[in-house]
Structure 1
């Protein structure tokens, strides 16, 4: 019975990770390039609505990955004492993954998302781009991409850590 519950939690962990990472990647590398042919103000409206709609879903998925990861390492895994975290290979990798996961989610929610919403909410920036002055918008979008790349680096780090578990 315990093994069956563990398998369900592993399934949820993987499904939530696919949703979190895949959702962020799909928006950044799929949706954004696909709408580049639209007028800037149309891009702004669509992306603002998409980001606001998907934010809670992706944040929930990220939180779920962290929660199921904690369960898989402790209740359904080999970590039963604090000593196991600091004195075993699994515990050390697990703790690094936990810290990276929490920091990645924090960064995505409080830094990357907030900056992106700020850029998308600045209608004057997008209207100026529609009128030919694209430099301020492109600078703001480049900064948004740079900030979001920190989240991507967190995802890559998590995947590397999971390979070593």
Structure 2
């Protein structure tokens, strides 16, 4: 593959990674804390709409990161045969990055997102919080934060592997 084409694919890879990781982190560390200052009913309504809207977009970005990473390691990279995955340092790290990325995306899509929708769709705990009983909501949000933190851990692991490549 021509060097220029590889650089274009690398640029797309980095851009999509910024969207995927940045989007997840911005929602979790930027939007969520700001929403906590709103009334409970508004928090629930806004956050549910936000995660439902952003889910497909962020999933597509994550899928694009993985797809371009596969191209960068194989068609535009040094992995030419299956044995390269097991016998070269690059192949080992590339395979580790692929597995971590797939697990991170899968966790976000199938576990983190579903947990968030479950909590933000549970109107009763939000109504209880409005009436002063915040313990069930705090517990549910704490569980959601813990579950979503696994995705952040995956991003950190990916970054470490990318630095080692």
Structure 2 CA distance for aligned equivalents of residues 90 and 4 of structure 1: 21
User: Deviation per CA, 1:85-128, whole angstroms, max 9, x where unpaired?
Assistant: 10000000000000000000000000000011000001111111
Alignment of 1:1-165 (within 5 A): 2-165=2-165
Deviation at 1:143, TM superposition (A): 0.3
Q: How many residues align?
A: 165
**Paired residue secondary structure (1:132):** coil
> TM-score with structure 2 length normalisation?
0.99
**Paired residue secondary structure (1:76):** coil
Gaps of 5+ in 1: none
31-40 or 42-51, which deviates more: 31-40
Structure 1 CA distance for aligned equivalents of residues 67 and 2 of structure 2: 18
Gaps of 5+ in 2: none
Structure 1 CA distance for aligned equivalents of residues 114 and 138 of structure 2: 17
Structure 1 CA distance for aligned equivalents of residues 37 and 19 of structure 2: 27
Deviation at 1:36, TM superposition (A): 1.1
Cα RMSD of the aligned pairs, angstroms, is 0.7
